[in-house]
Amino acid sequence: MKSHKIFNDPVYGFIQVPYGTLFDLVEHPFFQRLRRIKQLSLTHYVYPGALHTRFHHALGALHLMRQTIATLRAKDIYISPEESEAVQIAILLHDIGHGPFSHTLEHTLIKVHHEELSLLFMEKLNEEFNGELALAIEIFKGSYHKPFLAQLVSSQLDMDRMDYLNRDSYFTGVSEGVIGYHRIIKMLTVHEGELVVEEKGIYSIERFLTARRLMYWQVYLHKTVLAAELMLIKIMERAKELIRTGHKLPAPSVLSYFLENRNLSSADFHAKRDELLQVFSRLDDTDIAAAVKEWQDNPDPTLSFLARGLANRRLFRLEFSYEPFVEEYVESIRKKVNETPGLPPSASEQLVIEGKETNTAYSASHDEIRILMKSGKVMPMSELSDSTVSPRMFTKYYLCYPKI
Amino acid sequence: MKSHKIFNDPVYGFIQVPYGTLFDLVEHPFFQRLRRIKQLSLTHYVYPGALHTRFHHALGALHLMRQTIATLRAKDIYISPEESEAVQIAILLHDIGHGPFSHTLEHTLIKVHHEELSLLFMEKLNEEFNGELALAIEIFKGSYHKPFLAQLVSSQLDMDRMDYLNRDSYFTGVSEGVIGYHRIIKMLTVHEGELVVEEKGIYSIERFLTARRLMYWQVYLHKTVLAAELMLIKIMERAKELIRTGHKLPAPSVLSYFLENRNLSSADFHAKRDELLQVFSRLDDTDIAAAVKEWQDNPDPTLSFLARGLANRRLFRLEFSYEPFVEEYVESIRKKVNETPGLPPSASEQLVIEGKETNTAYSASHDEIRILMKSGKVMPMSELSDSTVSPRMFTKYYLCYPKI
Amino acid sequence: MKSHKIFNDPVYGFIQVPYGTLFDLVEHPFFQRLRRIKQLSLTHYVYPGALHTRFHHALGALHLMRQTIATLRAKDIYISPEESEAVQIAILLHDIGHGPFSHTLEHTLIKVHHEELSLLFMEKLNEEFNGELALAIEIFKGSYHKPFLAQLVSSQLDMDRMDYLNRDSYFTGVSEGVIGYHRIIKMLTVHEGELVVEEKGIYSIERFLTARRLMYWQVYLHKTVLAAELMLIKIMERAKELIRTGHKLPAPSVLSYFLENRNLSSADFHAKRDELLQVFSRLDDTDIAAAVKEWQDNPDPTLSFLARGLANRRLFRLEFSYEPFVEEYVESIRKKVNETPGLPPSASEQLVIEGKETNTAYSASHDEIRILMKSGKVMPMSELSDSTVSPRMFTKYYLCYPKI
Amino acid sequence: MKSHKIFNDPVYGFIQVPYGTLFDLVEHPFFQRLRRIKQLSLTHYVYPGALHTRFHHALGALHLMRQTIATLRAKDIYISPEESEAVQIAILLHDIGHGPFSHTLEHTLIKVHHEELSLLFMEKLNEEFNGELALAIEIFKGSYHKPFLAQLVSSQLDMDRMDYLNRDSYFTGVSEGVIGYHRIIKMLTVHEGELVVEEKGIYSIERFLTARRLMYWQVYLHKTVLAAELMLIKIMERAKELIRTGHKLPAPSVLSYFLENRNLSSADFHAKRDELLQVFSRLDDTDIAAAVKEWQDNPDPTLSFLARGLANRRLFRLEFSYEPFVEEYVESIRKKVNETPGLPPSASEQLVIEGKETNTAYSASHDEIRILMKSGKVMPMSELSDSTVSPRMFTKYYLCYPKI
C-alpha cells in the first residue's frame, strides 16, 4: 500500500502528499479551485512562462515544510505527529482564500482580506473534516504555544516566501530570484520556542533577502505588469459601476454575483459563510478572462476600450518616479485622454491612474529574522550583516495612462 | 535605436524578435490570442506546471530557427534576407490556427484541421500586411524551390518538434524530454537542397528520437491526461447535442457561436473566411473553462456529471491494453454506469469511451531524417544507427469510464 | 550533536555521510587518496570540465544508495540497520582499488584488476575496523543471501552506473547522459529477493540505457580521448622498458617502485598485501602527470616524443573503422613514422597502435534488468520494450599514430 | 572550411575559438599549461567539485567577451576587427602568468605578481607571433585610447569576474554565486569611451555584487580552505628553508629550481626573461602535489607533519574573529603545539599562524561601476541603489593551528 501520492514538480522534482487528511484536502474542490488561480496574476504579459498557479505553490510550500520538519527533528527538536500534520495543513491552506488574480483584485470584488478568507475556508473545512483541522487553525492564527510552528507558516522566513521565490524564478526565468533553499532549511533551528537561523547561514539569508528585494522591482512591481493589473482593476470597477447604474453585462454567473452584490464585507462573509464561500469558490481567473474578452464590444466606450486593450495586450504606459508627479504634468495627460476621439470627455477619471508602491521586501522593524550565534546569543539579522539588510524604505510613485 | 524586442523565456534565457514584420505579427490580436491557448491542453492535471501556451512555443520555435539560420550561414549555405524572414514568419505562425485546447477539441468544435486554419490566418494576414507574407506562405505550403526551408518548419527534425520537447520537458519537469538542441542545431547542414545532419550528430539524433518517443507515453498519452481530454470532448459533444435539441446553455458568446453553428467545415471557412476567422480568433481556453464550470449545475445529468468531474478533477478511470477489450468486459462496465443512481439509464452511451492510440513518434517510412556521412553519401537514419530508430508500430487500446 | 557530515555536491546539492564507520572510512587515507584520481582519466583533454574524482563519485553513489534504501523501506522491504550500513560501505568502497588514471593504466602498472584490489583494501580496512566491514565484504563478493543488496552495488542498474552517468554528464556538459535518477529510484523494488523495476518505470529505464550507450561513443570512447590514453599507456610501457634495460628515470618514489617492480601480480598482492597496499595507496594521478612532464627532455627519443606530445596536447591522430584496417594502409603509416626525423627507425613499433573497442553498454545475455509487471510477472527488459534495448554488438577498430 | 574550433563547456554549452591567432595561442604550451593549474587552489577540500582550471576559466572569459562585443556592436558601438581580436587576446591571456595553486603560492615561490608575469608572457608570445599581440598588450596595460576595452578585461565588471563567478558556482555547487550574466551583458554599453550599464540593469548589478561578496565568505575565504592553503604555504616555506640550510629534498626538477633559486624577483625575470619563463611554464599544481606527498616521510618533523596533514586532509583548525586575538590565548595555543610529542619544541613558530583577511569584493572608492541613467547622466552605482553596494570594510582576523 502506497503511503503517499506523488505530484510532479519541475522545481523540486517530486512532491509527496501523505494519504489521509492532507491528501483529502488536496482533493477537495475548494483546493482544486486553486488550479485556476495564477500565482502571479498578469505577470505573464511580461514573463510569458509565469502561468503557474496557487495550487502548485501550495504544494511546493508543503514540500518545503516537510523537509524542514525532518531537518528540525534531526536536530532533536520535538514535533509531535499531530503538530507535524497540523503545520503541514496550515501551510497547504494558507492561500486558499485567494480570489481570482490574487492580490490584483483583492479589494475590488469583495472587501475581505485573503487571509481572513483562508481562515473562513479552514473553519468550514474543519467542520467537514470533523475537527481534524483544529490544531492547524490554532497554528495559522498564531495562538498555539509553540511560536516556531506559526513562524514556519508566516514570517520573514516562512515556507510561503521560500517556495514562491523559487517558483516565480523558475517560471519567469529570472535567475535573480533563485535562493539556496536547501542550505537555508539546513540552517534553521529552534531557540526558546522561536525559529532561528544558525550563524553560518547568514550569507544564505542575505542572499535570500537580496533575491526577494530584487524580485520585487524586476518582477512583482514591473511597470508593465503593474499597468496591466491597474487596467484589470479599472475594468472591474467600471463593470460594477455599469451594473449599479442598471446596465446589463454578460458574464459567467459567479462573476455576476459579485458584480451585483457589491462590496461584500467581512461581516457579510461571517453572516452567510457557507453560501458565500460556495459561490466564491466557484470564481476564478477563467471567469474574469472570459468576461474581459466578452466586454470588448460593450457599448460603454470606457469598458470596451479597457477590455480590448487588456485582451490584445495594448497596455497603458506607466511612468515611475521617486517624487510625486507634478500636477501640471498629470493635468496635461488627463487633457489628452479626455480629448481622444472615441473616448468620453471625462475618460481620464477612469483611465489616468495615480498611485505609489513601496518595496516592503524586508523590514527590520518587527518580526526580524533572528540568528543564533555560535556563542549561544540570538541576534536580529540587521545588527549582524556587513550589508544593510534593512534598506531604507523606498517608495516609487506611478502614473498610468493610455498610450495616445 | 534597438533593432529587436526581447522576450523573457526560462527555456532559452532571452528570445529576440526583430522589429518590423515579425514583431508586428507578434503584436497582432490573432497571435496574442495564443497566450490563452495552452500548449498541452489538460496535461496540467497530471503535470501541474504544464500551463505554457502556444504563444510561448511559437516564440521558442522562432528562436531556434534564428539560431539555425545563423549556423547554416556560417557553413556557407546561402539564405537570402528575404528567405530568412520568410522562414521565421512561417515558423512563428505555424500553429496560429490552433483552437482552444489545441488537439483535444480539434475536430469537436469545427471540422477543420489546424494546419488548414493556420494557412487561412496567414493568407488573411498577408492581405493586411500587403503581401509581406507571400514567401512565408510558399515555404509553409512546401512549394518553394528550396525544400530545406520547408523542412525547418515541418519535418521529423523541425524547429517545432525541437522547441516543444524542450519546453514540455521544462514545464512538466520530465527530464526525459530534454534534448541537446544546441548540439543538434550545430550538426544541421544542407545537401542538394535538403536538410541533413552531419554524421557525428547521429547520437544526438538518436537521443532526440528516444526523448520524443518516451515523452509520448509518459506525457502526451498519459492515461490520466487522456481521460481528462476525453471528458472534455464528451462535454462539448453533449453541449452541442443539447443545443441542437433546443436547450439553452449559458456560455461566452463566441463559444455559443460554434456550439450553435455545428460542424463548420473547410468549405464554410473558405466561403466566409473573414467573419469566421474573426469569431474563431476570439475563442480560447478560458471560454471553455468558464463554460465547463457554469455547466456543473445544468439540469442535464450527463452534462453536469461530466462538468463537475472535470472542474473538480474527479476524472474517469482509463485502462490501457495491448489488445482490444473483450466485449463482455466492456458490457459489464456499461451496465454499471447505466445503473448508477443519478445518471440516465443510457448514460454509458456518453460515458463509456473506447478507442486506441498509436505511438507515432518516428516513422521510417517517409520523411526520414537523413545523415550526411563523412564519405559524402546521404543515408536515412534507420539504416545507420546501432539502435533501432524506427520501432515497430505500437498501438494501445483504451477504455475510459467513470470511477463508480 | 550532529548525526552526519555534509559534503557539498553540485550534482545532488548535499551529500550526508553518517558519523561512525562510514565517516571514518571517508577520512581514511586510503579513501582520501581517491581525491587525486580523476574519474575519467584524460577525458578532460576533450571535455575540459571532466576533472571530477573517484572520491566525489564514491560519495555520490553512496548518496543514491541512501535514497534507494529509504525508498525500498517505504515499500515495506525489510533492510536491517546492519544491512543498510553494510551496503553503504560496499558502494562507498567499490572503487577504492582504482589506481592512477583508473582504467587507462589498469593493466600497465600492475597486473591486478581494480575490483580485486578494492576487495584487498576492504579486507585490510576490516582488520583496522575490527570486523565492522565483514557484512559489506560479503555483499560486495555477492555471497550474501539477499541478492538485491549486491545488485544495488553491482549490476546493470546499480548505484555506481547511476551516479557516474549523472556526474559525467554534469562535468562534461554532455546533456545526453542525464538520467531521471529520481524517477528510476522511485520505481525500484524487490521481488523474490532480486532487484526489479516496476512496470511503469520502463520508459525511464530505456532512457537510462540510451543515455549510457550514447555516452560511450560521445565521451568514454571519444577518439581524441582514446588517443591520449593510448599515448599515456605507451609512455608507461616505454618507461618500464627503459628501466628494465638499466636506464635511470626521474620519478616520484612511489611511481619508481612500480616501474622497477614490474608486473606485480595478484599473487604478489596477496603475499605482501600490507606493504604493497601501502605503496599503492600513495600512488595517484599527480605522480604520473609530474613524471610525464619531467620526461619531456629525456634522452630517449621515443619517450620524450610521447611525453612532450601528451603534456602539451599534441595528440596522436586516431582513426575509427567498422572494418579491420587494411595491412597496406597500416604499413604506409608505419613507414612514415619510421622515417620521421628525430625518431628512431623503429619508432613505429611504439608509436603506431592498433586495437578495437566494443560498445558494451548493455548486454541482454546475462544480468538483465528485470521488470515487475502489473500482472505480477517478472520479465527481462529486452522482451518488453518497443525499442531494442539490446543492440547488436558493435565493434570499432582503431588505428592511432602521430600527426606527421 | 570551419572558421572556429568548438570547446565543450558545461557552463555555457559551447565555446567557439576562431582559427588563427586566437586558436594558435590556445594551442601554445604556455597556455596548455593552464590545464594543470586549478582555478581555486585547494578549495576542492571543501567543495570537491572545484577542480576546474585556469584554462577553462580563460576560455569562458573569452566566450563572454565575444558575446559582449556582439552586443555592443548591435548597439552601434564601433569596434574594429583588430580591436575585437586584441581584446579577445587580452582576456584569453589575462591569467597566463599564474603559477601553481594560483594566489595561494603567489608570493611564496617567486616574488612577482601574476599580472606582471602575464605581461611578460604576452611580450614573449608577441615576439613569437610577429607582433600580432601588440594591440592586445596595449589594451591589457590600459594605455589604449578606448578605455572601455581595458575595462572589459579588468574592472569591477569585467569578463574575468563574470566568468569566475559563474564557473566557481557551477563547480562548487554554491548557487549563491550564480549571476544573470546574459542580462548583465545585454545592459552593457559605452558612454564617452567608458564602459557603463544601462539604468534598467541596476538590479542585476546589485545581484552580481551581492553574489560576489557572498562567494568571498562562503567559498574563497572559507576557513577550512584557508587553513589548507596556509598549510601549503608553510610547507613551501619550510622546504625552502631546509634547502637553504643544506638539506636535500626530492622534488620534480622544475620545483627544485624555484626552491633553490629563492625569491626570484621582478628584476630577475626581466633580466633572464626567456630562461625563467621557460622553467616557470613547466611548473604547475601536479609538481607541488607530488612533492607534498613525497615529503610525508621527510626526516624533518615539521615538514612531514605538515605534508601528511595536507595529503591526508588532516587540516589545521582555523578560528575567525572580528577582533585581533588576545595574546594570552595565542600563547596558550603555542605552548600546546610546542609540547606536542613528535614535534620540535619550537614547532609553533611554523605551525601557529596568525593573519587577517578583508572582504574586498567591491569598493566604491575608485573604479566604480557606472550607470547610464535614462536621463543621459552617468552615476556611480553607490549613489543609486536602495541597498548599500559599498559595504563598510570588513576584516576578519584568523588564528590557525594543528588540531591537538
Burial class (CB in 10 A: 0-12, 13-18, 19+), D126: middle
Q: What's the CA gap between C219 and C222, in Å, rounded?
A: 5
User: Is C20 an 8 Å CB contact of chain D?
Assistant: no
pLDDT tens, C381-396? 877 765 544 455 578 8
* DSSP conformation class of A222: -
Residues 157-196, chain A, touching C (beta carbon < 8 A): 182-183, 186
ipTM (interface pTM): 0.94
Please give the single-letter amino acid code of residue D366: H
Q: How far apart are CA A239 and CA A233, in angstroms?
A: 10
**Cα-Cα-Cα-Cα dihedral sign, residues C217, C220, C226, C230:** negative
User: Cβ–Cβ contacts within 10 Å for residue C244, how many?
Assistant: 11
Cβ of A51 within 8 Å of Cβ of B46? The answer is: no
- Starting at the earlier edge strand, list the strands of the sheet with D395-401: D317-321, D395-401, D353-358
Q: Which residues contact C341 (CB under 8 A, 6 or more apart)?
A: none
Average pLDDT value over all residues in chain C = 92
Tell me the three cell numbers of residue B326.
Answer: 473483450
* C-alpha dist (Å) from residue C203 to B215, B321, C381: 9, 17, 11
CA–CA separation, D175 vs B375, rounded Å? 46
Residue A335 CA, chain-centre distance (Å), reads 36
* Chain C hits for D49, Cβ within 8 Å: 8-11, 52, 56, 171
Chain A: residue whose CA lies nearest to D217: A203
Torsion angle of the four alpha carbons B104, B110, B111, B113, in this order, in degrees rounded to the nearest 10: -60
The answer to whether the CB atoms of C171 and D13 lie below 8 A apart is no
Helical segments of A129-179, H only: 134-141, 147-153, 159-172
Q: Which positions in chain B touch A294 (Cβ < 8 Å)?
A: 252-253
Q: What single DSSP character describes residue C158?
A: -
Set of chain A residues whose Cβ sits within 8 Å of the Cβ of B225: none
Please give the pLDDT value at position C390.
46
C392 touches chain B (CB under 8 A): yes
CB contact under 8 A, A13 and C186: no
Residues of A in contact with B55 (CB under 8 A): 48
> Which pLDDT tens digit goes with each residue over A168-194?
999 999 877 777 788 899 999 999 999
Q: Report pTM.
A: 0.87
Q: Which three cell numbers stand for residue A392?
A: 531604507
Q: Are B362 and B187 in contact (CB under 8 A)?
A: no
- With beta carbons less than 8 A apart as the criterion, state whether B130 and B155 touch: no
> What does the mean pLDDT of chain A come to?
92
C-alpha distance across the termini of chain B, in Å: 64
Question: Would you state the pLDDT for residue A161?
Answer: 95
* D247 grid coordinates: 638539506
Task: Suggest the residue from B286, B292, B314 to mutate for an interface test with chain A (most A CBs closer than 10 A).
Answer: B286
A174, B8 contact by CB (below 8 A) = yes
Nearest to A3 among C3, C14, C74 (CB): C74
Instruction: Judge whether residue D327 has pLDDT over 70.
Output: yes
pLDDT digits (tens, 9 = 90+) for D295-309: 999 999 999 999 999
Long-range CB pairs of A147-154, under 8 A, 24+ apart, other chains included: A147/A193, A147/A194, A147/A195, A148/A190, A148/A193, A148/A194, A148/A195, A149/A79, A149/A83, A149/A86, A149/A87, A149/A90, A151/A194, A151/A195, A152/A65, A152/A68, A152/A87, A152/A91, A152/A195, A153/A87, A153/A90, A153/A91, A153/A94, A154/A94
pLDDT of residue A390: 46
CB of A210 within 8 Å of a chain D CB? The answer is yes
Instruction: Say what percent of chain D tops pLDDT 90.
Output: 77
Count other Cβ atoms within 10 Å, centred on residue A366: 6
How far is the C-alpha of A50 from the C-alpha of D284, rounded, in Å?
Answer: 49
CB contact under 8 A, D48 and C59: yes
3-state secondary structure chain D: CCCEEEEEECCCEEEEEECCHHHHHHHCHHHHHHHHCECCCCHHHCCCCCCCEHHHHHHHHHHHHHHHHHHHHHCCCCCCHHHHHHHHHHHHCCCCCCCCCCCCCCCCCEECCHHHHHHHHHHHHHHHCCCCCHHHHHHHHCCCCCHHHHHHHCCCCCHHHHHHHHHHHHHHCCHHHCCCHHHHHHHEEEECCEEEEEHHHHHHHHHHHHHHHHHHHHHHCCHHHHHHHHHHHHHHHHHHHHHHCCCCCCCCHHHHHHHHCCCEEHHHHHHCHHHHHHHHCCCCHHHHHHHHHHHHHCCCHHHHHHHHHHHCCCCCEEEEECCCCCHHHHHHHHHHHHCCCCCCCCCHHHHCEEEEEECCCCCCCCCCCEEECCCCCEEEHHHCCCCCCCCCCCEEEEEEECCC
pLDDT at C312 over 50: yes
Longest dimension (CA), chain C: 72
Cβ <8 Å between A186 and C6: yes
Closest approach of B182 to chain D, Cα-based (Å)? 8
- Comparing CA positions, the residue from C265, C285, C282, C263 lying closest to residue C273 is C265
Residue A5 falls in which region: left (phi positive, over 0), alpha (psi -120 to 50) or beta = beta
Contacts of A48 in chain B (CB under 8 A): 7-9, 35, 52-53, 55-56, 59
Q: Is D394 close to A387, i.e. CB distance below 8 A?
A: no
Q: Which chains have 3 or more CB–CB distances shorter than 8 Å to chain B?
A: A, C, D
Q: State the cell numbers at D70.
A: 556582439
Give the pLDDT confidence score for residue D387 in this predicted structure: 52
Mean pLDDT of C287-312: 97
Query: Alpha-carbon distance C120 to D114, whole Å?
Result: 46
Contact call for C186 and A14, based on CB within 8 A: yes
Cα–Cα distance between B101 and B107 in angstroms, integer? 11
Q: Note the residue count of chain C.
A: 404
**Out of B48, B173, B253, closest to residue A250 by CB:** B253
What count of Cα atoms within 13 Å lies in the side-chain half-sphere of residue D115?
Answer: 8
pLDDT given for residue A375 in this prediction: 86
Mean pLDDT of chain D: 92
User: What's chain A's length in residues?
Assistant: 404
Q: Which of D27, D49, D284 sits opposite C9 (nearest CB)?
A: D49
Chain A partners of B287 at a C-beta cutoff of 8 Å? 290, 293
Flag whether residue C16 sits within 8 Å of chain B, measured between CB atoms. Answer: no
Listing DSSP states for A315-327 in one string gives PPEEEEESSPPPH
Over residues A264-270, the mean pLDDT reads 93
- Condensed to tens digits (0 to 9), the pLDDT of residues D262-297 reads 889 999 999 999 999 999 999 999 999 999 999 999
C175 pLDDT tier (thresholds 50, 70, 90)? confident
Q: Does C214 touch chain B (CB under 8 A)?
A: yes
CA nearest C175 in B: which residue?
Answer: B180
- Cα C231 from Cα C226, distance rounded (Å): 9
User: Would you call B294 and A46 a contact, using CB atoms and an 8 Å cutoff?
Assistant: no
Cβ pairs bridging A and D (under 8 Å): 56
Query: By CA distance, what is D2's nearest residue in B?
Result: B75
pLDDT surpasses 70 at D179: yes
Answer yes or no: do C14 and A182 touch at CB < 8 A.
Answer: yes
* Chain A residue numbers touching B48 (CB-CB < 8 A): 7-9, 35, 52-53, 55-56, 59
C142 touches chain D (CB under 8 A): no
Q: Which of A3, A14, A74 sits opposite C3 (nearest CB)?
A: A74
* Neighbours, chain C (3 or more CB pairs < 8 A): A, B, D
- Residue C216: the pLDDT is 87
A387·D386 Cβ contact <8 A: no
Look-up of cell digits 467545415: B265
Position A243 pLDDT exceeds 80: yes
Mean pLDDT of D56-62: 98
Assess contact for A316 and A403: CB atoms under 8 A: yes
Q: pLDDT tens-digit profile of C362-377?
A: 555 567 899 999 889 9
Q: Please give the residue of chain C at the shortest CA–CA distance from A4.
A: C74
Please state which of the ranges A149-163, B134-148, D101-115, D302-316 shows the lowest mean pLDDT.
D101-115
pLDDT at site D357: 86
Q: Which residues contact D112 (CB under 8 A, 6 or more apart)?
A: D264, D265, D266, D269
Task: Provide the chain B residues 362-391 that lie in CB contact (below 8 A) with chain C.
Answer: 386-388, 391
Angle separating helix axes A285-294 and A253-260, nearest 10 degrees: 80
Indicate if the pLDDT at residue D391 is higher than 60.
no
Could A182 and C74 be called an inter-chain contact, meaning their C-beta atoms sit closer than 8 Å? Answer: no
- Per-run averaged pLDDT (10 residues), chain B, 404 residues: 85 93 97 97 97 98 97 94 98 96 88 93 97 98 96 95 95 82 92 94 84 87 95 97 96 95 90 95 96 96 97 96 94 96 93 87 67 90 63 78 92
Give the pairing type, strands D370-372 and D194-198. parallel
Which residues are bridge partners to B356 per DSSP? B397
Q: What is the pLDDT of residues D12-31, one digit of tens each?
A: 988 999 999 999 999 999 99
D73 Cβ under 8 Å from any chain B Cβ: no
The SS3 of residue A342 is: coil
Residues of D within 8 A of A211 (CB-CB) are 207
The answer to whether the CB atoms of D206 and A217 lie below 8 A apart is no
Q: Contact C118/C94 with Cβ under 8 angstroms?
A: yes
Residue A93: pLDDT band with limits 50, 70, 90: very high
**Cα A24 from chain centre:** 24
Task: Report chain D's C-alpha Rg in angstroms.
Answer: 23
CB spacing of C387 vs B391 below 8 angstroms: yes
Which pairs count as long-range contacts for A268-271, CB under 8 Å and 24+ apart, including other chains?
A: A269/A110, A269/A112, A269/A116, A269/A117, A269/A120, A270/A120
Rounded to the nearest integer, the mean pLDDT of chain B is 92
What's the DSSP call for residue B300? Answer: S
Q: Minimal CA–CA distance to C67: which of C165, C188, C176, C151?
A: C188
Contacts of A among chains (3+ CB pairs under 8 A):
B, C, D
Give contacts of C72 with chain A, Cβ < 8 Å.
Answer: none
Give how far the C-alpha of residue C44 lies from the chain's centroid of Cα atoms, to the nearest Å.
15
Q: What count of residues does chain B have?
A: 404
Q: Are C87 and C136 in contact (CB under 8 A)?
A: yes
